[in-house]
Amino acid sequence: MYVGIPKESDALETRVAATPGSVKEIVKSGLKVNVESGAGIKSFISDDDYVNAGAKIVDSSDELLKNADIILKVLSPSQNEIDILKENSIFISLCQTTRELEMVRQVTKKSITAFSMHLIPRTTLAQKMDALSSQANIAGYKAVLIAASRLGVYMPLLMTAAGTIRPSKVLILGAGVAGLQAIATAKRLGAQVEAFDVRPVVKEQVESLGAKFIEVESDENDGVGDGGYAKETSEDYKKKQQELIHLHISKSDVVITTALIPGKPAPLLIPTTMVESMKPGSVIMDLAAENGGNCELTQKDKVIEHNQIIIDGTSNLPGSMPVHASELYSKNVAAFLTYMVKDGQLNLDLEDEIISGAIYSHKGQITHEPTKTLMDKEG
């Protein structure tokens, strides 16, 4: 069976779905790997690097796609790619199916078996396949560095001959993987860090990193959903949450928002009035921009200024660190792919929790229920 690694069709995407290291693992499993020429160039990987790892270089994207049994990508398939792919081929990428319904419709129409790395279940066995976490780690780290570069003040406490400089105050909204990495990075830079999350269970993790956990008093399971993810909270909780965030945000130099609810738009945590209560020169990094943003003023992939507050809606922060982002993502994908390979052949065990959790299209049917439900509503 042939695995194809095409160039990403989005000119702004710097990551690649396979590195020489992951190619070696895939070849070791008994599969053959073809890589489109130049696929790794934005991650500083040459064609020769892939050849030395056991891959064959293919000059034409069309040739690679039409001959591949399995395709690995970062982003979702474009319509042009779907048109070229063989029926019943396998496509693995990092896509949000509930936000890309037309793509899902076209993939299903072509009878492509498609998997999303977004849908990998959070289980112990699937940890090494968890692409969301590997990319979120980078986003949390880079968000702090970008915010620090935009501030007009120091991050750490400084004792100078001219006087003492107070440390910056950083507020993290959402203490998942990205939020925890943001806490750790801000602490390393010497900032005073506070963090909020609707899940009380993360308090210990936040405090272990040296940050102060701020919380709303409520039913302890109010914001806890399936798999440890956040879920929508009650109206009473939301009111208390807004009051609490408003109190702390007005004193913060940097706010980093990471709050997401699987399959739904990002919750609104920072309305315009709250932004306007912040100190001039403050920075908001909205890591939920791709899903609508946690700040009312966020514009996806734009950096704007409102009332002297900088609001950054960059949606692909992992792409700003393509070397490690590609290295980690490719390890996740290779782990998932080789998990399904037995004796050089793909073994699609649809009773397997990981495989059934990640698949969203198979034999002309949509297999991911939340996506199917949304499509049915659209008619």
Residue 94 and residue 92: Cα distance in Å, rounded? 7
Residues 192 and 169: beta-carbon distance below 8 Å: yes
Task: State the Rg of the chain over Cα.
Answer: 22
DSSP for 307-334, written as a single string: TTEEEE--S-SGGGSHHHHHHHHHHHHH
> Catalytic residue positions?
122, 127, 130, 133, 229
Nearest residue to 117 via CA among 372, 332, 361: 332
Other beta carbons within 10 Å of 97: 24
Structure tokens at 220: 């302890």
Residue 23 makes CB contacts below 8 A (sequence gap 6+) with 5, 33, 35, 50, 53, 54, 55
Other beta carbons within 10 Å of 155: 24
Nearest residue to 293 via CA among 319, 311, 310, 278: 311
